Structure 1
């Protein structure tokens, strides 16, 4: 028998199904496991969106820009340095590295000294007597002429797992 493609792709179902369809009946007296009950109850719960209080901060306008620093000890003088102590795990086969001092432009050196003095005065930086690791400062000049102090930690990063 050769099927005509039009008849074969007919979207209307024929009443003669090859497989019988049975209706499921509910069984009484069947125990449902605790795990299945918990999953069914969990499925019925609706998920609510997370809501939290939002604090609005006025950042000024284009004419009157306000500077906001978040997470900086420079602007949190009451923060005690004894609260947190950080330690790095190092690979035992990596010896400590003391980077050689890099030369800086004299104008930049003055700005670096000012920034370092400012950070020492507020207690953000302290002098290390016998440091095992020494990393160079990488000064980054901002658009407004200030200096951001970054540190070249490439050697230290190689030594940490």
Structure 2
């Protein structure tokens, strides 16, 4: 026989106590935290630090014609000496200046904006650059024009602003 209402049939089982909600009840094993949970909490507190390899600059040229490369400073001394000798032996292979790369095929390095003729171009709001950045931009653009990397392109309207990326040495990449 199933008892649907324990109070009416004098059932001795305890009735629910709504004065003390379940979510306020204390847990018995509050201090016991699983090893996995404690490991995750400990791991969360640690900040991820990027590994930065220590490097040293090596001049492969002369004092007047500086040609610097960066090599790891933690190399074994005999490996470091062999690497420096190898780099000095083949230093003519590197393109030290923009003018050294004049023989590049334009099919490899040419960038063309592919615009759909049926879509009207959207002109972005002109963003002014700081005066010191404008000077660096002019120097970089002139250097690339002299090397033959940049040519004037004719588009129906001006399309986008120049994106500047400052380098560590103070120069600007466009």
Shorter-chain-normalised TM-score: which range?
0.3 to 0.5
Taking structure 1 as the reference length, what is the TM-score of the superposition?
0.41
Q: Which of the pair is proportionally richer in helix?
A: 2
